[in-house]
């Protein structure tokens, strides 16, 4: 009996040691962070800031891989099928985990069942901008001009189903406007055509427009958030410009394939919390117009589910589909 007890204790000791070693090994090779949008856009910027600092905390490189297309669905579907070992992560955004699954008939993944939430990162409002050649200086003038030229004006988006696309469709419905969408493969191409006068307006992240706004190459008309932005304090919100209740905030978070080990998820969340609390990181995000919004894995998973319900209902109400 005594011998059996000794063997049992030795076995427990060995198992505990093995578990400790296994946990201590992660990560023992570079981690892939997939971004479902083109390089240079706001999602890519968030991903690269996070990758740099998270890699420093983990002692391993976190390599950003851009897999753009279908409003981020291509990248999300790719990661959903990768091994759940903590070496493949996805930068989830409102578009990929709350809009695209209801917009596309076969997105290739389930935003709830196929992913494990690691944590929320940040959120930011969108800014509606126009080419300075358009003779409007505020939202009321823009609405009047569009109604005087129905179906003649265009707006650019970084992709069908993206937050700028959905927010413009929301505004069109609220104001009763006819504006033609022009979809691009990424914000950079959309911005280039807006600057060149080939499209008339767009809704986009402040980070993608602030330099052009400051240079006078774009004219800001309104903000999509509930309050004015510190970066553009003189630009009113859509809500205060005659459309009460209008609110769109884009968000960013980190997810991994479903069934990623809980200890790996907790480790990543813990290190991400440290990164997001660093003054230099907060300064970078604030400069880009992002509000840091850290959360626990459980909180972020619940938030994704809430957002999926909200935006799924909106997609159906707007009757928008993409083939």
Q: Which domain range does residue 207 map to?
A: 125-241
Average pLDDT over residues 132-137: 97
Domain assignment present for 71: yes
Nearest of 178, 181, 175, 180 to residue 160 by alpha carbon: 181
CATH number at residue 215: 3.40.190.10
Say which range, 12-21, 154-163, 283-292, has the weakest mean pLDDT. 12-21
pLDDT, tens only, 234-254: 999 999 999 999 999 999 999
The pLDDT of residue 134 is above 50 = yes
How far from 311 is each of 7, 155, 196, 210, 257, CA to CA, in Å? 57, 21, 32, 27, 22
Q: What residues have CB less than 8 Å from 22, skipping those under 6 apart?
A: none
Q: What is residue 20's three-state secondary structure?
A: helix
pLDDT-derived band at 185, boundaries 50, 70, 90: confident
Domain assignment present for 307: yes
In total, how many domains does the chain have? 2
Residues 235 and 145 in one domain: yes
Domain assignment present for 23: no
- Residue given tokens 């690269």 in the structure block: 48
| Whole-number average pLDDT of the chain | 90
b/e burial code for range 170-183 (CB count within 10 A of at least 16 → b): bbbeebebebebbb
d(CA 68, CA 86): 22
DSSP 195: H
pLDDT of 323 reads 62
**Cis amide bond preceding 88, omega within 30:** no
Domain assignment present for 86: yes
pLDDT, tens only, 280-311: 999 999 888 899 999 999 999 999 999 999 88
Domain assignment present for 288: yes
pLDDT of 15 reads 41
Q: What are phi and psi of 256, to 5 degrees?
A: -135, 165
CATH number at residue 99: 3.40.190.150
Residues 217 and 268 in one domain: no
pLDDT, tens only, 202-234: 999 887 788 899 999 999 999 999 999 988 999
pLDDT of 217 reads 96
Burial of 167 (0-12, 13-18, 19+ CB in 10 A): buried
Residues 177 and 198 in one domain: yes
Out of 59-63, 157-161, 287-291, the most confident range is: 59-63
Residues 153 and 192 in one domain: yes
The pLDDT of residue 8 is above 80 = no
| Diameter of the chain measured on Cα atoms | 93
Q: What residues have CB less than 8 Å from 20, skipping those under 6 apart?
A: none
pLDDT of 24 reads 59
d(CA 296, CA 290): 19
């Amino acid at each position: 009996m005594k011998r059996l007890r000794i063997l049992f204790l030795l076995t427990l000791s060995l198992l505990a040691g093995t578990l400790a070693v296994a946990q201590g090994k992660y990560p023992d090779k570079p981690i892939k962070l997939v971004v479902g949008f083109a390089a240079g856009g706001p999602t890519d910027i968030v991903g690269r800031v996070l990758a740099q600092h998270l890699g420093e905390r983990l002692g391993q490189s976190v390599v950003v891989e851009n897999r753009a297309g279908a409003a981020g669905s291509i990248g999300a579907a790719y990661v959903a099928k990768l091994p759940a070992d903590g070496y493949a992560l996805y930068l989830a955004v409102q578009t990929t985990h709350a809009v695209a699954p209801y917009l596309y008939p076969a997105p290739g993944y389930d935003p709830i069942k196929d992913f494990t939430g690691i944590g929320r990162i940040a959120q930011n409002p969108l800014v509606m901008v126009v080419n300075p050649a358009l003779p409007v200086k505020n939202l009321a003038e823009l609405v009047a001009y569009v109604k005087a030229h129905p179906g003649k004006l265009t707006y650019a988006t970084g992709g069908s189903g993206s937050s700028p696309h959905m927010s413009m469709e929301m505004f069109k419905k609220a104001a009763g406007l006819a504006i033609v969408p022009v979809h691009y493969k990424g914000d950079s191409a959309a911005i280039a055509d807006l600057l060149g006068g080939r499209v008339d307006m767009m809704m986009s992240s402040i980070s993608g427009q602030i330099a052009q706004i400051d240079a006078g190459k774009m004219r800001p008309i309104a903000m999509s958030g509930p309050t004015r932005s510190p970066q553009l304090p003189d630009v009113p919100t859509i809500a205060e410009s005659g459309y009460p209740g209008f609110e769109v905030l884009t968000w960013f978070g980190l997810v991994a394939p479903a069934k990623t080990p809980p200890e790996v998820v907790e480790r990543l969340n813990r290190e991400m919390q440290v990164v997001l609390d660093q003054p230099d990181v907060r300064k970078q995000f604030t400069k880009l117009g992002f509000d840091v919004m850290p959360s626990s894995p459980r909180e972020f998973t619940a938030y994704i589910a809430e957002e999926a319900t909200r935006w799924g209902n909106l997609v159906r109400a707007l009757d928008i589909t993409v083939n």
